[in-house]
Amino acid sequence: MELPDRLENFTKEQLMHLDMLVDQLDEALRDADPRGMHLAAFHPTGTARAGGDAQRSPVDGHGRLRGVDGVWVADASIVPSCPEVNPQVTIMTLALSIAAGIVGSEPVAVSARSAGKDTT
């Protein structure tokens, strides 16, 4: 059997091992039942929540990390809780709002109501 150029540098043992792995993968895929799969996904939010209460929120409503000058947080960690829909647009909006506040003369306040469902 003539090997493709990309495989000719492999040893016979390596090729046999690769062939065995391919066989195992084929078997696993044949036996897989998608109805028995349990999938989960989450968006890590709220790890540095933004808010007005300094005791509960390490980041203020403008994205500034409390107690550290010159540090802003502009990602999903400032959203108090995970929104009920994909948070991509929410995160992009927060980041743009915080960036506008950093480069502008007045920071743009981020409200908990627009960032997520938890307003406490």
Q: Which residues are the active-site residues? A: 43
How far apart CA 111 and CA 76 sit, in angstroms, is 14
Rounded CA separation 78/91 (Å): 9
Eight-class DSSP state of 56: T
Backbone dihedral region of 34: left (phi > 0), alpha (psi from -120 to 50 degrees) or beta? Answer: alpha
Secondary structure E strands in 1-120:
none
Contact (CB, 8 A) for 56 and 65: no
